[in-house]
Chain A
């Protein structure tokens, strides 16, 4: 039996109202990765993570648990006491693997190192780095989304922010397109870090001769038209891209967006996509933490799923 939809929606809303994020983690989880990097807090241009990379290890733990409940014979009984889901989420937070959290933190540190190679000057908001509200929007919780968006925008304006550099497709789409639609007074400029890197004529520090295949995230490829930038950045560093069956505008979703509503269906979609990708090449490049998480949970041992920032760091940074 699948998790009860209303209950999942209630938990998402409650958490966003209570802690500003869909998962009830401490604020320190959001900005701990940036400690020691010397990023200035006060800056008109800021790196805005939208908290997705930081939250993904926690989301993965919860989804794994939901999936086993969905398969369990006890599921209908458990689901009839849907409120228990909140308790399960709370308990799992402390059991999220340290290595996975550190892996996602490293992705963000590498993005910072790459951006430092460009002329762009940027800062970071630390405890004021915020969640965009992407899940509220996706689930049709429009009034809650609007309220959250207003709070986020007002805070950013109070802090004197004018330009955001975003790092994942969901946050980029929400901050670039949806906030503009929902908040008439919205005036922030939004650039994705791959666009910033691609327009910066970076010189490769080393050439890496490796075959990879690219999994285009739906929001980059179809909604934001960020397709050539990652390819150009990889190719300039010697990477050979073997295109999979469905790429660019016709990319096939990783299944991630429904991981909390239907973890088993989400896994089936990921398996189909993994099959297509790994038939092309065993090195799969992803550009979104949700794609990373959902494809990683179905990958074979001889297949490697890695964030594009790790490749770009190896190419462009010493």
Chain B
């Protein structure tokens, strides 16, 4: 799931497998440290889905995506087999290559 190889269709196809059961949450270090549910894997899956599907985007969402440890703990828990951390990392690239692109490092 590197660079331009991941499309919006792939994000949606994979992340819409999420049933929002929340099993992934208990292992997430950043969710334990922060009050907002957006700082957990289920929250991050939601952030990505709503950003791509409806263009909903907030500063808190941005911080949450870049504050993920990409530690992979959530992946071990997901009954739908979603490689959550890999999609979060890839979504950073999606942001950097689109509206979040820092102009001085545009690439």
Please report A residues at the B interface, Cβ cutoff 8 Å: 2, 5-7, 9-10, 13-14, 137-144, 146, 178, 181-182, 218, 222-223, 246, 249-253, 255, 257-258, 261-262, 265, 268-269, 272-273
Contact = CB atoms under 8 A, between A and B. Distances in A.
Please classify how large the interface on chain B is, using the bins under 10, 10 to 19, 20 to 34, 35 or more: 35 or more
B107 to A, nearest CB: 4
B32 A253 contact: no
B21 interface: no
Contacts of A9: 96, 102, 105
B6 to A, nearest CB: 9
A255 B29 contact: yes
A269 B27 CA distance: 12
Q: Is the interface of A mostly helix, strand, loop or mixed?
A: helix
Interface stretch (B9-17, B45-53, B85-93): B85-93
Contact of B29 (A143, A261, A272): A272
B66 A222 contact: no
B69 interface: yes
B93 A142 contact: yes
B72 A269 contact: no
Given A140-B95, A222-B73, A265-B67, A10 B33 contact: no
A258 B69 contact: yes
A290 B69 CA distance: 13
A146 B69 CA distance: 21
Nearest to A178: B2
B90 A140 contact: yes
B71 A143 contact: no
Given A5-B66, A9-B102, A9-B105, A253 B33 contact: no
B76 A250 contact: yes
A218 B96 contact: no
Given A2-B63, A223-B72, A146 B3 contact: yes
B96 A141 contact: yes
Interface of B: 2-4, 27, 29-30, 32-34, 62-63, 66-73, 75-76, 89-97, 100, 102, 104-105, 107
Given A140-B96, A142-B3, A269 B33 contact: yes
Contact of B3 (A143, A246, A268, A272): A143
Contacts of B66: 5, 139, 258, 261
Q: Is the interface of B mostly helix, strand, loop or mixed?
A: helix
B72 to A, nearest CB: 4
A144 B93 CA distance: 11
Contact of B73 (A141, A252, A258): A252
Contact of A144 (B29, B104, B105): B105
Contacts of B29: 252-253, 255, 269, 272-273
Contact of A222 (B4, B76, B91): B76
B38 to A, nearest CB: 13
8 contacts: A138-B89, A141-B93, A142-B96, A253-B29, A257-B70, A265-B30, A269-B32, A272-B29
Given A265-B30, A269-B33, A139 B92 contact: yes
Leading 9 A-B pairs by shortest Cβ distance: A140-B92, A253-B71, A140-B93, A142-B3, A268-B33, A6-B102, A218-B71, A143-B107, A222-B72
A255 B69 contact: yes
Given A250-B27, A265-B33, 8 more contacts: A5-B63, A9-B96, A138-B89, A141-B93, A143-B97, A218-B72, A222-B76, A251-B73
